Each structure stands twice: as C-alpha cells, then as structure tokens.
C-alpha cells in the first residue's frame, strides 16, 4: 500500500499542483493512514441507502510524501 500511494502521489505532483489529499475509509483504516500523514476530519459519515459509515481523512501532500519515505524533496 505504501509503495502504491507513493507512486500515485509522485505522479500527481509531477502533473499538477497537489496541496492536499482527501479520502474516505473505514474507521479502522483511518488509524492506519495516520502513519502516512493523514488526519481524520469527519467520523461516522453515513453512506446513504446502507448501514455503513465512513471516516473522511485529509493530508498535506508534502507531509504524506515525507511519511511515505522522504519523497517530499523530489516533489515539485
């Protein structure tokens, strides 16, 4: 997962300006994404028509890149 996220972020930053990343995930995965520089900003967001709830996460691209392995210095 770390390598895939790093490749995606590196590609995006080479082709456009990426200040922040946003995502939805389960509450359990939001704890994992904290390791990669993300923070939860909304919890228990319901998915209409289901009983599922998700967490919304956000991370500054440079902080996420640094947490993924120091790639912040390569990103423009």
Domain borders along the chain are: 2-73
Q: Which of 5-9, 25-29, 68-72 has the highest mean pLDDT?
A: 25-29
- The model's pTM is 0.81
Q: What is the pLDDT of residues 26-36, one digit of tens each?
A: 999 999 999 99
SS3 6: helix
Report d(CA 30, CA 34) in Å as an integer: 6
User: Is 61:75 a contact under the CB 8 Å cutoff?
Assistant: yes
pLDDT above 70 covers a percentage of the chain that reads: 91
- Provide the pLDDT for residue 70: 58
């Amino acid at each position: 997962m770390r390598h895939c996220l790093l490749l995606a972020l590196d590609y995006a930053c080479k082709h456009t300006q990426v200040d922040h990343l946003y995502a939805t995930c389960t509450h359990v995965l939001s704890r994992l994404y904290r390791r990669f520089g993300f923070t939860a900003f909304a919890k228990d967001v319901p998915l209409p028509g289901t009983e599922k709830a998700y967490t919304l996460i956000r991370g500054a691209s440079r902080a996420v890149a640094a947490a993924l392995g120091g790639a912040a210095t390569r990103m423009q």
